[in-house]
Amino acid sequence: MLTTFRLCLALLSVLPLFAQSLDWTGDVTLFGSTGDESSPLMVTAVNGNSIRAFCLRDDSQLCSKISTDGGTAWSTSSDTALTVSAFSAAADDRFQYLFIRHAAASAAFLLRCPSASNNWHSYQQIEIAPSRTGNIAASALMVDALFAPNEPYLNLCWCESAASGTVNIWFAQSRNRGESFRQEHNVHSFVTSVDADDGLTITAAWSGEEERLLIAAVVDRPGSIPEQIRVFFSDDQGETWSDSGGVDDSFVSQTEPAIAALGDYVILSYLRSAYSRYHELCMSFSYDGGQTFAQPFVISDTLTDECSPRLLINPADSLYYLFSLRAEDSIGTATVLMRTGRLDRPWNISEALAICEPGSAVLAGGLTAVMNVNGPAVAWTGRFLAGDTDIRFDAAWRGNSVSGHTFAFPSGIALGSCYPNPFNAMTVLPLMLNRPTPISIELFDISGRRVTAFHYSLLPVGEHRILLDLSGLPSGIYMSKIDGCEPVQKLFMIK
């Protein structure tokens, strides 16, 4: 398995900066009423300028708006007169598609609407997989327009639970812009006690003329081990599927996957529960179209919950954007964050940039992001002064400048993040050596006093995982430092 590390030597940033910077705190209301709006979702066509936006009003009424100028002006809200439990959407250069699950979760169908229209009432409903009656718990739609802009395929996957307790991940494809779907195929089956609605997402990677479909999903593991993120891929347009295996082999819960691809580059982000204390944001990547993934690394830089990761890739400059919600208190307020990096150096991720006023978002309200010809745009649920929730919108149409630090591989030691962290007595320190090197690891308490050290004679070139046994020390915060490396890691031991 490929491995990446947090590096010891920091160099000058290599992230390209745009000509102008944008203050992301100038957000506007996208959906607002006397009711509660939540669960925002936006879609846009590749290389297009129009944006379709959806939300749920009072948890069930589906509402829609469209902007034909990239988000400057929006149509009036169009209520679809549909009561739904959840939905997913996608767009190509001619149509926009909406996959709807009814509140009973036993019926689902597709709506197709011309790009310039906002009248969902007058267009045909296409029933998906009518022969089965299982409850649909999660779904994802994707148009592979980056791979085939002139003849895009519409790809749909969903989780369906059976009366026996098993959950099946199904895939279906339309090759005529949603007029009909080919025979559905089973991606994976498992017996689960987890909430399948925690995550299902789909993207497409490719090499030359060959396309690969990728689905990231939350599945259960044997016994009492919590759920895990797994990636499935197909090289024959969804007729057969292979399992890339678990990206993260830790024994903690993994949920809410987000995946994006451009050519052979695949970026995956997800949540990992830090031993039931909080959810940390993690990321991994693949350079071979999703067959193998690098060792994941933690992105979160605070001991607070993050959720709702959303990934975008700008094909014009090969930058990726990662949006998330970070909890600000115990009553459900949050801040929208953005981080960015380059596909060829995905571990070189910028510091988090706040997109909204701190605490003005709703943690459980949902988050959505799209990329159009002008750059990234994001929408989230915010709380109005009167107490109800509205959908807020902001965009970076004039470009944005993201400050942060990036790294490059040094000639000696590449240092990974300790895991687990927090921990009880023992933690693992991963590192990579580019040449045979003696290693000395020193630990200091919060006052700066050296409390213990670990010494190793000449270690060979390659990857190493060093077990740090701190069982003889009391609970507390410790700093670890490797001789010859500047970065100091903060370790949290809780007994």
Residues 362 and 436 in one domain: no
Residues 111 and 220 in one domain: yes
Q: What is the DSSP track for 465-494?
A: EEEEE-TTS-SEEEEEEETT----EEEEE-
Residues 378 and 434 in one domain: no
Amino acid at 11: L
Residues 227 and 376 in one domain: yes
CATH of the domain at 447: 2.60.40.3080
Residues 255 and 182 in one domain: yes
Residues 455 and 314 in one domain: no
Is 488 inside a domain boundary? yes
pTM confidence score: 0.76
End of a domain among 373, 402, 431? 402
Residues of the chain with pLDDT under 70: 1-25, 47, 79-81, 103-107, 120-125, 127-133, 192-198, 224, 274-277, 384-386, 397-412, 434-436, 460-462, 484, 486-487
Torsion of CA 266, 269, 272, 274, to 10 degrees: 110
For residue 108, what pLDDT is reported? 76
User: Among 369, 317, 376, which residue's Cα sits nearest to residue 343?
Assistant: 317
Is 4 inside a domain boundary? no
End of a domain among 351, 374, 402? 402
CATH of the domain at 146: 2.120.10.10
Is 305 inside a domain boundary? yes
Q: How many CB atoms lie within 10 A of CB 122?
A: 7
The whole-angstrom separation of Cα 131 and Cα 424 is 51
End of a domain among 402, 430, 455? 402
Is 12 inside a domain boundary? no
Is 241 inside a domain boundary? yes
Residues 42 and 83 in one domain: yes
Lookup result for tokens 């060093």: 466
Is 10 inside a domain boundary? no
- The residue range of the domain holding 419 is 413-493
Task: Give the largest CA-CA distance in the chain.
Answer: 74
Are 242 and 251 in contact by the 8 Å Cβ rule? The answer is no
Residues 211 and 324 in one domain: yes
- Structure tokens belonging to residue 434: 């580019």
Residues 362 and 489 in one domain: no
For residue 398, what pLDDT is reported? 44
For residue 195, what pLDDT is reported? 55
Residues 369 and 472 in one domain: no
Is 457 inside a domain boundary? yes
For residue 53, what pLDDT is reported? 92
The whole-angstrom separation of Cα 348 and Cα 341 is 6
Helix or strand or coil: residue 196?
Answer: helix
Is 208 inside a domain boundary? yes
The total number of structural domains in the chain stands at 2
Residues 429 and 379 in one domain: no
Residues 283 and 197 in one domain: yes
